[in-house]
Amino acid sequence: MKFPASSPPPPNPLPAVERGWIGRYAIRTLRLVLPVLGALALLAFALDRLFPLQLPAPDTGSTVVLARDGTPLRAFADSDGVWRYPITPQQVSPLYLQALLTYEDRWFYRHPGVNPYALLRGAATALRHGHIVSGGSTLTMQVARIIEPIPHTFGGKLVQIFRALQLEAHLSKAQILELYLNHAPFGGPIQGVQAASWAYLGKPASRLSHAEAALLAVLPQTPSLLRPDRHPDAARQARDKVLRRMRDEGLWSDAQIRDAEIEPVVARSLRAPLEAALLAERLHRQQPQARRIVTTIDANLQRAVEDRVSDYLSRLPPRTSAAILVVDNATLEARVYVGTAEFADPLRLGHVDMVRAPRSPGSTLKPFLYGLALDDGLITSQSLLVDAPQDFNGYKPGNFDDSFSGPVSVAEALQRSLNVPAVDVLDHVGPNRFVARLANGGIDLGLPQGAQPNLSIILGGASTRLENLVGAYTAFANGGIAGTPRYLPEQAQQARHLLSPGAAWIIRTILSTNPADVEGAPLEGTIDRHGAVAWKTGTSYGYRDAWAVGVTNSWTVGVWIGRPDGTPSPGQYGAVTSLPLMFAVVDMLPDDRTRARNVQPLSVRSVDICWPLGGAASSTPADLCRQRRTAWVLDGAVPPTFAERDVTAWSAGLVSVRVNAQGQRLSATCHGKQEHTVQIARWPALASPWLHDDDAARATLPPLAPNCAPDSLDVASPIRIAGLTQGVHLRQAPNSTQPLRVTLQALGAIGEVQWLLDGRLQGSSVGNANMQLALPQAGDHQITALTRNGAFAQLRLSVDKS
């Protein structure tokens, strides 16, 4: 305080003699105390140097892999088997900090590490009761004991005090508090409030209720006796004691305390989280030094899908496993990663990550093949293909059920996953080029050592991984741009050009209009909350791998089911085994009606085409348009039907012949009255057995006029089936358990003859050699003998019950 210059200073209340005596006493005291304080400071400095603090290294502890919202997916204990999830005071519920500091150390922010009053109070109560009732330890002293084993003796207490003073000298209060939050014991291998909150309560420490905050505040006092999973009554009594203290201090209201006391003490069985276990293990191996790995996984969705997989596989044969990958099309972030059906099941080889395991893809590559053929201008969505026994330079593919359908469209061949048409298209595209395009889109096919790409790859004659397959299928929702699934938010997005936007749209439209007769499939013609689901299945040779991949506006879902050891699972294939599970997962996904729809690109338009020639209906004479179909056409390309291979006598497509007045064919040196030219639309020779009578008649060449030299336009010499007569009725012998067998011949045939029973391939013969067929069931049957150049014969018969 300042005074005016004219005012005299206030008088000193002490006489001059007394003032002199006090001054001399203070000086004498300082002379005695300062050396002592200096000596104590030097002693403290020396002790601090001789016995330095051993603080936990900041990067030590367990590793926790987290979902995108911070939920732990899997914890990896440290070298001592401890689970600890790093956390800061700012990440902990304020309710917990209130309860902790109020109950354990109200003067935490005011004392230098030791509270003398608390120590004296603890000593007094110990003398009164004969044992320690209150230890008088501050939170800093508790941290000292946590980070260093100190015996519960008088000497140990002195060491604890010394360490507490050291902590206060070297660390801030916030740092000391953080040490407690991360290293306090909570029972078993659990250390730290975050690990305890997840282990006992299944929630982060940031979302604790009043009752939960009180429980976790008191638990480190005697964790072995207060563990809520083992001693819920003792835990409740200790919790309520903290609640009463909070009420008495006026920090929590009576209403809050009443509600908290009603809340039961319910704890989960103490276990580390174990969702997306194999992804967590994969990321932990990639980042062994990381202590906190945040993924793109949706914790709730992951848990729900894992439960669904466990329930679903309980109905399948033992040792069957499964893998599921769900990717957000917009970001390529994985939301669900199920690498195994049961992580802890050795019979299912639960340690094998089937999301990454190389397996035969079956028919799942066919959409990319047809998309590439569209981009090359080879086909439209309704181009005519032939599903019949064919020989591709010695490679003779068959369909999954050994049956054939004759003439089919591209869309039908893809939807029904027919093998022969796909091999035919791959033969035109080229295996090497197809494999290269797949690699560019993220699917690196694994081939046997020393092998080169061949036609078998489209039927599963190579290997790929589920994550690569799912990444490639996102192209059907992203305008032909595929990508690599992302498991970490910081992972760079890798976009790969696979198909044009138009080709991707056409293929997705074909796949999304394929009705599925399986459990949980959307009804035909209905649009659910995800829009139409475009889907494709696949089954590898020997029933080793069953696949299903689905694409919606927002999501791509891939499902694999099989045995990790590659053992066949007869009867388990994509459409029956994996497809229902895929639809079930799609139904669990968040609504995506707000996402952009599958908008038709400008490069795609609808055009009517004609079979068998394949050209546009607008430019095809009406009498040559045997079947009219509406096709999706890319960039205006309307290609003709594929030319036949290895056929010398038959010429598919448009054939022009000269005929006379009677309509008989004239060869080159032959002439007749009213000679004129007619055009005939010829079907591919191998489609002949499946043609309607009218189509077959319209495609037949007129007979050669008498006295005209052969012109080599006729089909190869006709054949007929010997051994049975047309329309014969057969009866199986009484009491016979064996199928009825018949022996037949293809008379007039040259070279190989394929034999079909009701459209299913039964075997082959050469020339007019005998062929034995088994007729397995009663009813009407049709037998077809078909040569490579299109000559065929058919025989209808019936088998009566004995």
Active site residues: 104, 363
Q: Which 8-state DSSP code applies to residue 57?
A: P
Cα dist. 283→73, 293, 353, 535, 591 in Å?
Answer: 12, 8, 12, 30, 29
- 659: Cα separation from own chain's centroid: 64
Strand 334-338 with 384-387, pairing: unpaired
Distance (Å, whole) CA 556 – CA 367: 15
Query: In the structure encoding, which two tokens stand for residue 614, read together?
Result: 């394949």
For residue 628, how many other CB atoms are within 10 A of its CB? 13
**Under 8 Å between Cβ of 533 and 515:** no
CA-based nearest residue to 197, from 84, 311, 58: 84
Query: In the structure encoding, which two tokens stand for residue 768, read together?
Result: 């007019």
For residue 129, how many other CB atoms are within 10 A of its CB? 10
Q: Which neighbouring-strand residues pair with 704? A: 665
Distance (Å, whole) CA 406 – CA 395: 19
Q: Which neighbouring-strand residues pair with 761? A: 756
Cα within 13 Å of Cα(768), Cβ side: 9
At 494, the amino acid letter reads: Q
Interhelix angle 431-440/419-429, nearest 10 degrees: 90
Distance (Å, whole) CA 444 – CA 471: 12
Distance (Å, whole) CA 147 – CA 139: 12
Counting DSSP H helices and E strands in the chain, the numbers are 21, 25
**Which residue's structure tokens are 């089954």?**
539
Q: Which 8-state DSSP code applies to residue 359?
A: B
For residue 329, how many other CB atoms are within 10 A of its CB? 22
Distance (Å, whole) CA 791 – CA 787: 5
Q: In residues, how long is the chain?
A: 802
Task: Pinpoint the alpha helices (H) of 545-596.
Answer: 579-588
Strand 627-634 with 653-659, pairing: unpaired
**Under 8 Å between Cβ of 745 and 723:** yes
Element (H, E) at 656: strand 653-659
Distance (Å, whole) CA 545 – CA 579: 13
CA-based nearest residue to 168, from 113, 116, 109: 113
CA-based nearest residue to 762, from 778, 782, 738, 747: 782
Cis peptide before 739 (omega within 30 of 0): no
Q: What one-character-per-residue DSSP string does 784-795 give?
A: EEEETTS-EEEE
**Under 8 Å between Cβ of 114 and 321:** no
Pseudo-torsion of CA 564, 570, 572, 573, nearest 10°?
Answer: 100
CA-based nearest residue to 86, from 102, 109, 66: 66
Strand 534-539 with 545-551, pairing: antiparallel
Query: In the structure encoding, which two tokens stand for residue 582, read together?
Result: 């895929």
CB-neighbour burial class of residue 754 (10 A; exposed 0-12, middle 13-18, buried 19+): buried
Distance (Å, whole) CA 569 – CA 548: 16
Distance (Å, whole) CA 656 – CA 223: 96
